[in-house]
Amino acid sequence: MIRRANIAGAGIGGLTAALALAQQGIKVCVFEQAPALGEVGAGLQLSPNAMKVLTHLGLGEPLQQVAFAPELARIKDGITGRDLVRLPLKDQCEAVYGAPYLHVHRADLHEILENAARQLGVQIKTGSTVTGYTTSGLRVDGNEEQADLNIGADGIRSAITAQMHPKFAPRFTGQLAWRGTVPTANLPDGLIPPDATVWVGRGAHVVTYYLRGGSLVNFVAVEERDDWQNPSWRERGDPADLLARFAGWHGDLQTLFEAVDATYLWALFDRPQLPNWSDGTTGLLGDACHPTLPLMAQGAALAIEDACVLAGCASRSVSDVAAALEQYTRLRKPRATQLQARARRNAVLFHLDGPFQGAVPRLKLSIAGHLPDRLGLRPFDSIYGYDATQLPE
């Protein structure tokens, strides 16, 4: 029987797993290397598939109170500002998938998860470095912390993954993301549409959307660049460099970037597909096993789904942890692999790659622009319609 679980990493995936397991009466301890919990200011998108899990865990209402619900999903030409694709989100997601599409500040989601986990007795030990695992626990600061179930949710540079799969090191994708937020009060009224907007251009793209009820504008600007390979989310960038990189882009983006006081740089890494996600009683979750480029807005959602499915498999197979983790991998790996591939393809689409000024992706966007009237959100059914709270029999 699973009485105790150890988790390496107190990010979104790790805390979601901690909460899901604790709700089953399992004693959970989370080990986090950082000296204190907290997330750098940035947003993330919680599509209906993620919200189904978070609502199932009892977090739907507190998230609604701090989130922003976008009206549309848009793809715009980054130079002219012309709409290329428009998809309804706010009303359609609830009607079609039974869950909302929300934008939240990462720190707000992190705090909500942490508070809910602590209320159920989850221990969160900061300043604790996980260096690997044994047959019966995690190696933390030179000691073995034993548990029935051990989870590596320690990100792209996971020590658990490095031990389990030493030949599958992360690889730089040649893309760099600038991230940050700007108070809406510092911008002209209506400058940024109340939507999940992707601005596409040659060799780069920008994502904009609102957070905290519309009081903040979040931006993620991704460019193709090979001189920065730091995977940390906490490295400061120079707002003047950001503005210079996107010189010539649409005036609304220029105005937004002129108002930026602080931005963070984040080199985007990928990883070859792992042959397995578990070894005995130790399993992997989120970026530790399937890092996903932020080009489908599904990285956090996949980690949240992982946590729910892993907890569900653990509850079904309480006497055989290794079998539970193998089932979890069978259920999750095909979906994660598929969405990783879709995110990679979006890099070609959003960056208008290819000859003749990206003629092929421009044609694809032109065709896509005519589909919503006929298909609505149906092309996203396999993503948004997925329900991790319902395990197959």
pLDDT tens readout for residues 4-54 = 999 999 999 999 999 999 999 999 999 999 888 776 668 999 999 999 999
Between 270 and 182, name the one with better pLDDT: 182
Flag whether pLDDT at 117 surpasses 50: yes
What is the rounded average pLDDT of the residues 312-317? Answer: 89
Flag whether pLDDT at 360 surpasses 60: no
Residue 209 is among the residues annotated as catalytic for this protein: yes
pLDDT of 37 reads 77
Q: Which of 284, 341, 254 is nearest to 165 (CA)?
A: 284
pLDDT, tens digit, for every residue of 274-304? Answer: 999 999 999 999 999 999 988 888 999 999 9
Percentage of the chain with pLDDT > 90?
Answer: 73
pLDDT, tens digit, for every residue of 199-253? Answer: 999 999 999 999 999 999 999 999 998 776 565 656 788 999 999 999 999 999 9
pLDDT of 363 reads 53
Q: Which of 101, 133, 209, 210 is catalytic?
A: 209
Q: Would you place residue 181 in the very low, low, confident or very high pLDDT band (cuts 50, 70, 90)?
A: very high
Flag whether pLDDT at 366 surpasses 70: no
What is the rounded average pLDDT of the residues 247-260? Answer: 97
- Domains and their CATH numbers in the chain: 4-170+271-384 (3.50.50.60)
Mean pLDDT of the chain: 90
pLDDT of 40 reads 63
pLDDT of 22 reads 97
